[in-house]
Structure 1
Amino acid sequence: MSLAYPRRQRQLESLIKKFGLSTDVGINWNLLDRALTHPTASDAENYEQLEFVGDAVVRLVAAMTLWEHFPQCSVGDFAAIRSVLVSDRVLSQLARSYGLELYLLVAGSAIADRAGQDSRLADAFEAVLGALYLSSNNLDLIRPWLEPRFCELASEIRRDPARLNYKAALQEWTQAEHKVLPEYKVVEIQHPQTNHERFFAEVWLHNQKLGEGKGRSIKAAEQAAAKVAFLALNHQGNH
């Protein structure tokens, strides 16, 4: 059944087409609309319950992808890779690749809260998966487009010694080598050139700056700085 608002219906159909799906495959449009409604836009009809379902769905799709395409991996590798695939950081990146922020209904102070945008997008992405799953009661509307993305990301993660979590990797290195944690210094850029560069971070160890980076959020800036530091240290260790 289509939505009562033709403009919103067209918006959601546009998103579905970005997933490579047909608009006449039995999608519950009311659920999809709800999946893209932040709690600030509606107290009752928002994405929170669908996010709960989608959290289980995305973990299942990730597990099935690893099982079918990377059978040589150990259970430990499965767990490590899946933890990255289902992280807010990766899910928000996937959400942006489909332009999900264009369809998410947000109101009030959340509109100006750019620092929380990654978390909102990750939550909405999970909610969309929940809506698609409940539309068919299976993964037929999800696996055709999400599994290839997870395959690509899993291959990248397996090639990456830091599993794409450079903060964790750098922390492990500094604890092993120096028994201390790195220190991050973050400032907000007053006039960022783009929204991707709102925060600037430096990572320090024993009064020595190891790296610096910029990001859309504090976490993203810290990850960028940690990546510079970790790759530099890894390069030094190989020589």
Structure 2
Amino acid sequence: MAIQDQRRKRELLKLLEKLGVKNFAAVNWSLLDLALTHPSISLTHNYEHLEFVGDAVIRLVSAEVLLENYSDLPVGDFAAIRSIIVSDRFLGEIAEEYGFDLYLLMIPSVRNDKLGKISRLADAFEAVLGALYESTKNMTLIRPWLDPILIEKAAQVNADPARENYKDALQEWSQGKYKLLPIYKVKYNDILDNDNERFIAEVWLQDKLLGEGKGATKKASQQAAAQQAYNSIMSINK
């Protein structure tokens, strides 16, 4: 279906070109426009329903990519890797890389909410997947450009013994070696360089500082601290 605003269509076309979508004639432009309309613009005409579809799409594509490229891995590893490549953090990073913020319609107060940026970009990314799927009722507009992104990320995660969950990896190590859990101390960053460093975390074990990290949330700062500690420990134990 066509959209009346030709300027908007040209903007959406630019996004599809960035992503690597080829068959523009198969795209339902009205759905794509809807996929990039935040609920702050309209309570009824927004991306939420398409996001719901897109959530299922990214999970299915991820499962197929893993089965096609890592058929020898146990199902448990499939689940661990997929949980990362379908996470809001990763999908938001993809959307940010492709400049989804330039095409997402939202009110100024939402656009200025930097802490919610990754979450809303992840929602929009899933909604775009939903729109492309609903355009053809298959994956032909999706897999040619999405597969390489997921394959690269899956390889990165598969090569990481911690599976990018450094808190769990550090906890498993500390329990195995000392029968103790790491202790995290988090404080607000008074010297705020950017929103991604809002909190500072320290991780301690047996009164010894193992690592420090910064993040936009307390959880993110703890993961960063755990990553520094885990990497340090693993490098010493090599």
- Provide the TM-score with structure 1 as the length reference: 0.89
RMSD of Structure 2 on Structure 1 (CA) = 2.1
CA distance in 1, matches of 2:82, 2:171: 20
The SS at the match of 2:164 is coil
> Which one-letter code corresponds to 1:94 in the other structure?
I
The SS at the match of 1:46 is coil
- Work out whether residues 23 and 141 of structure 2, in 8 Å CA contact, stay in contact via their aligned partners in 1: no
Measured after TM superposition, the shift of residue 186 of structure 1 is 3.8
The answer to whether the aligner puts 1:29 opposite 2:29 as a matched pair is yes
**Pair 1:234–1:20, CA change in 2 (3 A):** same
**Pair 1:219–1:89, CA change in 2 (3 A):** farther
Equivalent pairs, count: 237
**Pair 1:117–1:68, CA change in 2 (3 A):** same
Measured after TM superposition, the shift of residue 206 of structure 1 is 4.4
The aligned residue for residue 134 of structure 2 is: 134
- Work out whether residues 183 and 205 of structure 1, in 8 Å CA contact, stay in contact via their aligned partners in 2: no
**Pair 1:112–1:203, CA change in 2 (3 A):** farther
CA distance in 2, matches of 1:233, 1:11: 48
- Work out whether residues 39 and 46 of structure 2, in 8 Å CA contact, stay in contact via their aligned partners in 1: yes
1:54-80, Cα deviation, whole Å (9 max, x unpaired): 111000000000111111111111111
1:76-121, Cα deviation, whole Å (9 max, x unpaired): 1111111111111111111112111222222264333222222111
- Work out whether residues 114 and 217 of structure 1, in 8 Å CA contact, stay in contact via their aligned partners in 2: no
Q: Which aligned pairs between 1:88-103 and structure 2 lie closer than 5 A? A: 88-103=88-103
CA distance in 2, matches of 1:219, 1:99: 26
The aligned residue for residue 20 of structure 1 is: 20
Measured after TM superposition, the shift of residue 189 of structure 1 is 5.2
The aligned residue for residue 63 of structure 1 is: 63
Unaligned runs of 5+ in 1: none
> Which one-letter code corresponds to 1:80 in the other structure?
A
CA distance in 2, matches of 1:128, 1:183: 38
**Pair 1:186–1:61, CA change in 2 (3 A):** farther
The aligned residue for residue 233 of structure 1 is: 233
Q: Which aligned pairs between 1:26-175 and structure 2 lie closer than 5 A? A: 26-107=26-107, 109-175=109-175
- Work out whether residues 21 and 141 of structure 2, in 8 Å CA contact, stay in contact via their aligned partners in 1: yes
- Work out whether residues 171 and 182 of structure 1, in 8 Å CA contact, stay in contact via their aligned partners in 2: no
**Pair 1:173–1:155, CA change in 2 (3 A):** same
> Which one-letter code corresponds to 2:65 in the other structure?
T
The aligned residue for residue 187 of structure 1 is: 188
Unaligned runs of 5+ in 2: none
**Pair 1:39–1:174, CA change in 2 (3 A):** farther
> Which one-letter code corresponds to 1:66 in the other structure?
L
The aligned residue for residue 224 of structure 2 is: 224
- Work out whether residues 201 and 221 of structure 1, in 8 Å CA contact, stay in contact via their aligned partners in 2: yes
CA distance in 2, matches of 1:146, 1:189: 40
Residue identity over aligned pairs, in percent, reads: 51
